[in-house]
Structure 1
Amino acid sequence: MVEPRSAAALGKEFPYTQKTLCYIEIAADGAVSHGADSGTYERARSGESRLFAVWPGEWASHLFVIDDLDEYARAHGLVHDQERTGLADHEHTTRWELDPSEKKPMGSYITIRVHLDCGCSIRDLDAFAKQIRDQQGWDIATSGGWGGSSTAGTYMRARRKSLTS
């Protein structure tokens, strides 16, 4: 029988948040479930279960044991990771402006340009959306496109009514 490969051996190259990755949790009593959330992490961390992932390839899929739970937690935002997200764990100083390409400035969601005057950079939209929701109440859409540059700001979609000046 072939043993699963080690996710830890790949380090930061393992695609913990890839949408096509399937997590499998095997509890100490043999119960099998799938998916990944904070409960999955806590059970694996406490030894109540083991966590595996199936990484589909072009011609074959590979089974990995998730043997670096700290890296798993950082990738999923369960533990803050400034290197991965570009965001310090502090209150962000922000400015925003309507993106010049926005065609419906009174729509429910609008495209904005965000400037972080605190020196942070946005490398992970999900992490930024969570932090800015907690800090300023902004509702940032995480399912669409985003990007930009440090000088022009980072463009993203936001619920217009959640934005503050």
Structure 2
Amino acid sequence: MTHGDQRAAYERAVAGKSRLFAVWPGQWSSDLFEIDDLDEFAKALGVKHDEERTGLKDHVHEVEWTKDPYGDDNPRSQYLGIDVILACGCSINDLRTFAVQMKEQRGWVIATSGGWSKRGRPNGTTTYSLRARRRSLTD
């Protein structure tokens, strides 16, 4: 029995070398479930890209960003509030997936803990308010 690396577990299960289980812990006992839908497992954990769930196509995004005009601009803070518009037509439904894509594509470090928001504009665009590591932001 092993635990940990989801990608390796998924690959072993797909190859028929092992089975996947999930434990739902309780106060007095725990329930054990076998994961039989390997595609859904892979999509949920980001092993496979799921455009429908994340709202993000698997391509290089056209990103426009500005400093959040209402955010705290403490220059000693590692993170900066930013407003992001995706000009490519994608939408951010899963922040972790977006953070991984931005790390790979632009070297940005997007904070995945804490809050983030999105708001629609009258012109049909959506603006996302996120936090990013200040030093990672480049154009």
TM-score class, shorter-chain normalisation, is: 0.7 to 0.9
TM-score calculated relative to the size of structure 1: 0.73
1:128 maps onto 2:98 in alignment:
yes
- Give 3-state SS (helix, strand or coil) of 1:33's partner: coil
Which runs of at least 4 in structure 1 moved beyond 6 Å after TM superposition? 57-60
- Coordinate RMSD, CA, aligned: 1.9
Other structure's SS at 2:19 match: strand
Q: Are the structure 2 counterparts of residues 98 and 59 from structure 1 closer, same or farther at C-alpha, using a change threshold of 3 Å? A: farther
1:56-83: per-residue Cα shift (whole Å, max 9, x none)?
A: 4699743211101111111111111100
Residue of structure 1 in register with 2:43 after alignment: 74
Give the residue type in structure 1 aligned to 2:21: F
The match for 2:132 is 158
**How many corresponding residue pairs?**
134
The alpha-carbon deviation at position 36 of structure 1 amounts to 4.2
Secondary structure at 1:77 match in 2: coil
Which amino acid is 1:34 matched to?
A: H
Residue 33 of structure 2 is matched in structure 1 by 64
In 2, the alpha carbon distance for the partners of 1:97 and 1:66 equals 42
* Residue matched to 1:85: 54
Amino acid of the structure 1 residue aligned with 2:129: Y
Report the identity percentage. Answer: 54
TM-score, normalised on structure 2?
Answer: 0.86
2:69 equivalent among 97, 100, 117: 100
User: Cα deviation per residue 1:29-88 (whole Å; 9 max; x = unaligned)?
Assistant: xxx122342111111111111111123469974321110111111111111110010001
Q: Gaps spanning 5+ residues in structure 2: where?
A: none
